Structure 1
């Protein structure tokens, strides 16, 4: 059993969760697109081969069972995680709670939405936000309440304040309990807090190879305002585990083959980071994955690492990483590694700025 827990922020400050969350995205197909010439174009599937329900269920259940009494598992899903497929993420979640109804009260369920139906393009219109939330609830089939809803990306056609006002109304209607933000900067977090102090969490990418000044600013701002940070991809999309050494290590059709950091020349250079972190992990008697999760967790008591796994053993390894204590010497050594090895390649595709990519995790 793991021991570390934390409380969420904002209006959810009385909710106790495990210090390490569980991302469900890699359990289902995801169609991934990018914006080219003003149009969204398909270029890969996130997860080419579906994972059997029994494996997914065992993974989810193992993480929940490892938590201390009174703590909930923060599960993260998305309206578009497998959109249009029979193995859609939300339908998978519904099937899990249909099989294990007693686990519904042990889970804090967060879902990203706010896109056009059957699209990865954000649509912040009041009509679409209502549609998105209702669609999520429809797919959950009453098996689990929607605890937190977040727009995956905000539509610049509508102001942040207007979008938050719509979401506040949906909370008042009882559609979901808490509001979250996704892929936003520190200034946006501050604006959101002013308009809706009840905002509970901000989801951004945080890992030893995704730790920019903007990331640091978001973490600091959230600490100041009492908002949780849900840190997705703490394992660098699997790279920091040390298992990915060449593009061919990914299954054919895996979208990561298209990302700049995973191109062969960049991959070779970036592996120096993995080698250095692996040596530190070995000396501590933990895995490279656990070291990365512990490092992300050490960004603050309000920072919740969000690794994903469809393997029960790996899930237990991941959440145990959140219990690992890193000494000041450990942290200083990791800092030296990160400052001496510059990551090659952007988070997504160098030719297209991050803000133009309709990709979320």
Structure 2
């Protein structure tokens, strides 16, 4: 496998990662521990020497919003110590414990990274720390200063951002170089602010971690109706998955299937390749709990879309408006602190 790569930014500019990263959120929810370990190893093993797999975790990726995902990672690194240096670990935090409320006070940011490091048990140092949202309880300058202090204390190596507006990214990068910025990007999540962040990040030399590049499953061709989502699935609450919206959004999937079939790839791979095509600094961040899916996702980073194919996709989007905003949609999204 020929693996396309991306250089990280800021203080991590000497680090090269695979073009497609690995989101770990679902590990521990349904997959067995060994299956989860194999899903991580598969991607790493496919990379050439000197290229790291970008792994993305969080202080709250667990059914109880606790540190279960990180504890699983600690057991992975304990069992496979050779993978410590082959992976670049990004962890989101900075919310109140098990509440998902952004809090960038000095006390909470210190508590957050200390909780993360305790869960990892010294098996792996946090390479990149991101506040999951831009908190409103303290000025950005104060939050950044706290992060710089914690970094200088050796709590983690690099500073990232998540769900921030373009001007916030620019402002933060002036205070301290940002190594990567994480935002949602997909064929179903390509808002004006998305485009601004992508453009600003490119100007500043900051890679964009594009989470949910598969449209939360819309591009996988496994969802036909709401009945295909299991009871309690968080997507049942989201605007894009309400009955009429879902029907319209799946029309995009159906149109994409024709392009994917001609190219001999899956609709999911086509979606990842489209996100990757938005710039050399783009790093699609799909999740995977199976080794086969990890390799399928990784291979999508090497797929080149022709101008004709990109034009065809643009035409599909022009003719099929995405229905329903990200997450809850409308004013309800304010509680989620999007585009901070």
Which secondary structure state, in structure 2, belongs to the residue aligned with residue 112 of structure 1? strand
Asked if 1:241 is matched to 2:220, the reply is yes
**May I ask how many residue pairs the two structures share in their alignment?**
339
Asked if 1:319 is matched to 2:298, the reply is yes
What residue is the counterpart of 2:168 in the other structure? 188
Shift of 1:264: 1.6
Which secondary structure state, in structure 2, belongs to the residue aligned with residue 238 of structure 1? helix
Answer with 82-91 or 257-266: which moved more: 82-91
Cα distance between partner residues in 2 of 1:334 and 1:295: 9
TM-score scaled by structure 2? 0.96
Shift of 1:118: 2.4
Asked if 1:257 is matched to 2:236, the reply is yes
What residue is the counterpart of 2:11 in the other structure? 11
Cα distance between partner residues in 2 of 1:215 and 1:79: 25
What residue is the counterpart of 1:23 in the other structure? 23
Structure 1 residues 85 and 258, CA, compared in 2 at 3 Å: closer, same or farther?
Answer: closer
Q: Describe the superposition over 1:24-67 as per-residue Cα deviations: whole angstroms up to 9, x where unpaired.
A: 001134xxxxxxxxxxxxxxxxxxxx321011111111011111
Correspondence list, 1:203-214, <5 A: 203-214=182-193
Quick check: 2:60–2:93 contact (8 Å CA) kept in 1? Answer: yes
Cα distance between partner residues in 2 of 1:264 and 1:241: 18
Structure 1 residues 161 and 148, CA, compared in 2 at 3 Å: closer, same or farther?
Answer: same
Quick check: 2:67–2:119 contact (8 Å CA) kept in 1? Answer: no
- Give 1:118's match in structure 2, choosing from 98, 123, 128: 98
Answer with 302-311 or 78-87: which moved more: 78-87
Which secondary structure state, in structure 1, belongs to the residue aligned with residue 155 of structure 2? coil
Runs of 4+ in 1 over 6 A off after TM superposition: none
Shift of 1:272: 1.0
Q: Describe the superposition over 1:229-282 as per-residue Cα deviations: whole angstroms up to 9, x where unpaired.
A: 000000001111111111111111111111111112211111110011111011
What residue is the counterpart of 2:56 in the other structure? 76
Structure 1 residues 86 and 133, CA, compared in 2 at 3 Å: closer, same or farther?
Answer: closer
Cα distance between partner residues in 2 of 1:275 and 1:190: 38
Asked if 1:217 is matched to 2:186, the reply is no
- Give 2:45's match in structure 1, choosing from 65, 69, 73: 65
Quick check: 2:210–2:285 contact (8 Å CA) kept in 1? Answer: yes
Correspondence list, 1:1-361, <5 A: 1-29=1-29, 50-82=30-62, 84=64, 88-196=68-176, 198-350=177-329, 352-357=331-336
Gaps of 5+ in 2: none
Cα distance between partner residues in 2 of 1:268 and 1:295: 22
Which secondary structure state, in structure 1, belongs to the residue aligned with residue 288 of structure 2? coil
Gaps of 5+ in 1: 30-49
Shift of 1:85: 7.2
Cα distance between partner residues in 2 of 1:119 and 1:130: 17
Answer with 1-10 or 13-22: which moved more: 1-10
Which secondary structure state, in structure 2, belongs to the residue aligned with residue 326 of structure 1? coil
Which secondary structure state, in structure 2, belongs to the residue aligned with residue 67 of structure 1? coil
Shift of 1:137: 0.4
Which secondary structure state, in structure 2, belongs to the residue aligned with residue 252 of structure 1? coil
Cα distance between partner residues in 2 of 1:280 and 1:187: 36
TM-score scaled by structure 1? 0.91
Structure 1 residues 83 and 112, CA, compared in 2 at 3 Å: closer, same or farther?
Answer: farther
Shift of 1:123: 1.1
Q: Describe the superposition over 1:118-154 as per-residue Cα deviations: whole angstroms up to 9, x where unpaired.
A: 2211111101101101110000011111000000012
Cα distance between partner residues in 1 of 2:263 and 2:112: 45
What residue is the counterpart of 1:32 in the other structure? none
Q: Describe the superposition over 1:46-95 as per-residue Cα deviations: whole angstroms up to 9, x where unpaired.
A: xxxx3210111111110111111110000000001116578811111111
Shift of 1:358: 6.2
Shift of 1:116: 1.2
Cα distance between partner residues in 2 of 1:72 and 1:83: 28
